[in-house]
Chains A and B, each alone.
Chain A
Amino acid sequence: MGADPDEELVRRIGAGDTAAVQAMVARKLPRILALAARMLGDPAEAEDVAQETFVRIWRRASGWRQGHARFDTWIHRVALNLCYDRLRRRREWTTDELPEVADEAPLPDVMPGDEERRVNQALQRIAPRQREAIVLVYYQELSNIEAAGAMQVSVDALESLLARGRRSLQAMLVGDGDD
Chain B
Amino acid sequence: MAEKTSGGPMDAERFAALADAYGGALHRWPPGEQAAAMLFADTNEGRAILARAGRLDAMLDRHRVDAPSPALHRTIVVRAAAEVRQSRRRRFWWLGFGLAGVGLAGAVAGLALVAVVSPDMQPDHYVMDANATSFGDAGPDADPYEENL
Contact = CB atoms under 8 A, between A and B. Distances in A.
Contact of A58 (B2, B64, B73, B87): B87
A37 B68 CA distance: 11
B73 to A, nearest CB: 6
A57 to B, nearest CB: 8
Contacts of A174: 55-56, 59
B76 A138 contact: no
A54 B79 contact: yes
A83 interface: no
A163 B55 CA distance: 15
B104 interface: no
Interface stretch (B15-23, B112-120, B123-131, B136-144): B15-23
A138 B28 contact: yes
B121 interface: no
A34 B63 CA distance: 10
A116 B63 contact: yes
Interface residues of B, number: 42
Contacts of B87: 58-63
Nearest to B57: A138
Contacts of A143: 30-31
B1 A123 contact: no
B76 A51 contact: yes
B84 A138 contact: no
A44 to B, nearest CB: 11
Interface in A62-76: 62-63
A29 B28 contact: no
Given A138-B23, A170-B56, A51 B85 contact: no
B60 interface: yes
Interface in A140-179: 141, 143-145, 148-149, 154-155, 158-160, 162-163, 166-167, 169-170, 173-174, 176, 179
Contacts of A38: 63, 65
A22 interface: yes
Contact of A29 (B4, B62, B72): B72
A14 B66 CA distance: 30
B77 A34 contact: no
Contacts of B75: 51
B95 to A, nearest CB: 10
Interface of A: 13-14, 16, 18, 21-22, 25-26, 29-30, 33-34, 37-38, 43, 46-47, 50-51, 54-55, 58-63, 115-116, 119-120, 123, 134, 137-139, 141, 143-145, 148-149, 154-155, 158-160, 162-163, 166-167, 169-170, 173-174, 176, 179
24 contacts: A13-B84, A18-B81, A21-B80, A21-B84, A25-B77, A25-B80, A30-B68, A51-B72, A59-B84, A62-B91, A63-B91, A115-B62, A119-B62, A123-B63, A139-B60, A143-B31, A144-B30, A145-B3, A159-B18, A166-B21, A166-B56, A169-B60, A174-B59, A179-B52
